[in-house]
Amino acid sequence: MSLRLRLAAAFALVAVLTAVAVAITAPSIVGRGFAAMQADDVPGGVGRGQGPGPMAGLHAQQVERETTIALVGVAVVAAGAASLLGLVIAGRMARPLARLERTAAAVAHGELDARSGLGGRADEIGSLGRSFDAMAAELQATEVARRRFFQDAAHELRTPLTVIDATTSAVLDGVYDHDDRHLETIRDQSRLLTRIVDDLRTVSLADAGVLPLRRESVEVGPLLESIVRDMGVGATAAGISLGAQSAERDVVSADPDRLRQVLVALVDNAIRHTPVGGWIRLEARRAAAGPVVIAVIDSGAGIAPDDLPHVFERFYQADPARDRSTGTSGLGLAIVRAVVEAHGGRVRAANEAGAGARFEIELPPAGGHARG
């Protein structure tokens, strides 16, 4: 039964019990009063023997008052008893709300694992408890992600800082010669620090929903061809062939610089995970009245099933042994997701049958509506 019906039933019960008590006792009380008044009206009756006259009228008024007082007393006693019963019922209904209040106070004081335990109820309190528990679980997950993010960020920033400090100290202490090779190490690590900070800023702006976007209509085909041209040198140097395929003149509503940033990050990621002699292909297609889908496919080893759900997380390392020697910030795929979602699109990763990994991004077509 819903809480609203329970409250209505409790109030109705109080009223019914009061009315029943009055209805049961009223005939007896009123009957005694009428009997007393009739006895006074009979000369020499069994009443007070007053018979008709002024004294009989006074006695009738007294009987009327006594009857009224008795009826009121019965009503008050009945209402009090019914109210006590109502308080008991209300206390039972308020008990889960008090439990929810204690749980909310615990969550407010940082106990994010606290739960109301009211999800099994079928009334409004149960619905409220389920919503609260879901909110608390989301807060707990967010807090865990926040702590992990700061720990990972501190770790990623510490690595180049340690290299810079160690190299500088070695040069100053005479362990290393004052040559350009060590200066290049310091410069490269400083650039890596700058990239990490810039990438962190991009992800933070996207998460806050304030990433600046300069939207315009972007033709996907020419964009893919330009990326193949720009990234082709690096791919060729790595012994990998890079090509693009776009059958239609697909046009998306996007920031061209941000979209290029996303595709370059995906191609760069594919180059680093594709062996010599492999290939990378960029594709674009659009379903009828649907979003434009841009895919980056490679012939590498693919993504381990355990890693697939986490590839877009910040600083996630599918290979724990990797380092920053490639100059990456560890935020490339996190930025891909953040920028795509800022456009109202979606991104996903999968293993291509018979090949390697497949990354797809969905973007609203020009003139279409972005998804929330």
* Residues pairing with 120 in the sheet: none
pLDDT band at 356 (very low <50, low <70, confident <90, very high): confident
pLDDT band at 72 (very low <50, low <70, confident <90, very high): confident
- Asked if the model's pLDDT at residue 124 lies above 70, the reply is yes
Provide the residue ranges of all domains of the chain, joining segments of one domain with +: 3-111, 125-207, 216-363
Q: CATH number of 216-363: 3.40.50.300, 3.30.565.10, 3.30.70.1280, 3.20.20.70? A: 3.30.565.10
pTM here? Answer: 0.58
pLDDT band at 126 (very low <50, low <70, confident <90, very high): confident
Nearest to 115 by CA among 91, 90, 135, 141: 135
Two tokens at 339? 């920028």
pLDDT in tens, 232-269: 988 999 999 999 987 667 888 999 999 998 999 899 98
Q: Would you identify the CATH topology of the domain 125-207? A: Helix Hairpins (1.10.287)
Give the span between the Cα atoms of 334 and 118, in whole angstroms.
37
pLDDT band at 61 (very low <50, low <70, confident <90, very high): low
Q: What is the pLDDT of residue 240?
A: 93
DSSP tag of 352:
P
DSSP conformation letters of 39-54: HHHSTT-SSSS--SSH
Give the span between the Cα atoms of 362 and 285, in whole angstroms.
10
Q: What is the pLDDT of residue 91?
A: 72
Query: Average pLDDT in the 126-138 region?
Result: 89
For 295, phi and psi rounded to 5 degrees? -120, 145
Q: What is the pLDDT of residue 44?
A: 52
- Asked if the model's pLDDT at residue 165 lies above 80, the reply is yes
pLDDT band at 56 (very low <50, low <70, confident <90, very high): low
Q: What is the pLDDT of residue 47?
A: 47
Lowest-pLDDT range of 138-152, 214-228, 313-327, 336-350: 313-327
343 and 257 Cβ atoms separated by less than 8 Å: no
Strand locations in the chain, DSSP E?
216-219, 241-246, 251-254, 279-286, 292-298, 346-351, 357-363
- Asked if the model's pLDDT at residue 216 lies above 70, the reply is yes
In this chain, the answer to whether the domains covering 125-207 and 216-363 adopt an identical fold is: no
Give the span between the Cα atoms of 236 and 274, in whole angstroms.
12
C-alpha count within 13 angstroms, C-beta hemisphere, residue 217: 7
> What is the average pLDDT value for the chain, to the nearest integer?
79
Residues near 170 by beta carbon (within 8 Å), at least 6 away in sequence: 176, 182
Q: What is the pLDDT of residue 323?
A: 44
